Chains A and B, each alone.
Chain A
Amino acid sequence: MTTVAVLVDHRDGAVTRPSLEALTLARTLGTPVAVWLGSAPAADAAALLGEYGATEVRVVDAADARVASRAAAALGAASADADVVLVISTFVTKEIATRLALATGAGVVVDAAGAELVDGKVETFQTVFAATWDVRTRIESDKAIVGIRPNTTIAAPAEAAGAATVVDVEVELPATRERITHVEAVEQGEGVPLAEAPVVVSGGRGTGGDYALVTELAELLGGAVGASRDATDEGWISHEHMVGQTGTTVTPALYVAAGISGAVHHRGGMQASGTIVCINMDPEAPIFEISDFGVVGSLFDVIPQAVARIKEHRGA
């Protein structure tokens, strides 16, 4: 039987949606166990993990796991018996996965859009080269570590869900040479974080710095606000909103690009989205090449009208 350890992502004690997506995927590969780094989860969080199929919640009370080598040691101790380890692909978990792989001999694929077992080996799917190619990779080693992108599996509770047993894992974390001397929490906006959002509405230079309309549309669609690099460089909106190859990679069901030209760096971070919509004054802008629905026009005319129509439809 394949044991699949899922590193749970949690914020303020709550399990995030990508963690539930990962547990859903884990069930298709084998028996999921959840790994929780930090002080023990509240009863409702542990119960939720059980509902999504975790048979155990293994808690490593390693509050100071911000350094990759320590987090990897904690995850390693809690996943020693696992054939597959799933993490949510982020810059931080990629480092944890790398350290764990070096300690265990596991092969790693990050930014995967899915995984399955073929003849006892894990095979993953990835979209690469700004989502113009699909790649299937086989992990040959006995242990496999996979970084999964949010929004690539539809989270669903397990049919025959039991209660997950909470288990404490004791581990001596290694000393590190690096010291984190200052941590300043980034104020989290309301609503869903960009990487996890089912809908992203992004504004670029074409907004001229006015994010009111972009924000209104995002809120109406239950989504998050994104931005291009030019907009964050201008200081119109904070860096955390930047979508692209060097910013956040997003794969929402719907991506709206307003006043964004569609430079290759930007496309690399959003081209794998389900449906892509753009609003741009310039009919030659490259963003039209990858849009399912493109409007040549001003976002200042188009967005208010679209918002009014959606509200009218919902009221009807």
Chain B
Amino acid sequence: MRILVTVKHVPDLQSQRSFTEGRVTRSGDDGTMNELDENAVEAALQLVEAAGEGEVYALTVGGPDAVAAVRKALQLGVHHAIHVSDEAIADSDVFGTATVIAAAVRKVHEEAPLDLVITGMAALDGLTSMLPTALAAELDWSQATLASALSVADGEVTIERHLPDAHETLVAPLPAVVSVTDEANKPRYPNFKLIMAARKAPVAQWSLADLGVDASAVGKAGARTVVVDASPRPAKENRVKITDTGDAGTQLADFLIEKGLA
């Protein structure tokens, strides 16, 4: 079983996230591996452990600091790490990012075939949840998204997906792109031995040229969408905080009535 997991480097949720000149501020200190990609790593490790053989690759696309995301994946136990970085990738939209990731997946797949690519359900900065579908389409592989459970047998992956109107079981032939939700598993913690090993583990560094991707197809040059303005929202004014001394419910109701909300 050979699986590639995509992991994104994102600003820490607990930090003060911001934009600088229309671009997400990404500093090494406040950046981490997207929390939801821990579920993708866990799913891949569990499948390989269950199969008793196989390898897991972690792949990130991003600036120099993004290497931290694949280091984190190494700490969790993946076997190989790849960091695709190139100045021309900056300001990519979903489709540019998918083009780059697809090219990197093909490169690994050509060395020895992959069975699955597993992604998180969303990156907690862009939050579009579009990348898994765009990647499956780019690769022309089958697609099984938003898996809250998954299993592999007989050349097929079977997933459960919980949509607002229905719970579905979906079967897709391999190779497939699967995205997993945070319900799919409980991510493990890195252990000391792996943390030490991860420091020294090699990380393959690939540029667009290594992937044969035309720079004009990605980054700002290829982007179909561009952020023209980003500004912090003003703090709310006139906020009220009261402590219940017996009539807070009435005060709350009066607040709603006055606002025309009740």
Contacts and interface: CB of A to CB of B under 8 A. Distances in A.
Contact of B232 (A92, A132, A298): A132
Nearest to B142: A177
Interface stretch (B108-116, B198-206, B221-229): B221-229
A14 interface: no
B166 A184 contact: yes
Contact of A180 (B143, B170, B182, B183): B170
Given A179-B171, A246-B181, A305-B250, A293 B255 contact: yes
Contact of A110 (B19, B130, B227, B255): B130
A130 B13 CA distance: 9
B99 to A, nearest CB: 10
Interface in A274-316: 275, 277, 279, 283, 288, 290-298, 301-310, 313
A94 B128 contact: yes
B209 interface: no
B138 to A, nearest CB: 8
B166 A305 contact: no
Interface string A127-144: 111111111111111000
B93 interface: yes
B173 A177 contact: yes
Given A275-B259, A298-B244, 15 more contacts: A94-B133, A102-B137, A107-B223, A108-B130, A111-B128, A129-B17, A137-B225, A139-B224, A181-B158, A181-B170, A188-B165, A277-B255, A294-B241, A305-B247, A306-B250
A219 interface: no
Interface residues of A toward B: which range? 35 or more
A102 B240 contact: no
Given A95-B133, A246-B182, A186 B165 contact: yes
Mostly helix, strand, loop or mixed at chain A's interface?
Answer: mixed
Interface in B229-262: 229-233, 236, 238-244, 247-257, 259, 261-262
Contacts of B95: 101-102
Contact of B143 (A68, A292, A310): A68
Nearest to B182: A246
B253 A310 contact: yes
B17 A221 contact: no
B19 A135 contact: yes
B33 interface: no
Contacts of B128: 94, 108, 110-111
A183 interface: yes
Interface in B141-193: 142-146, 158, 162-173, 181-183
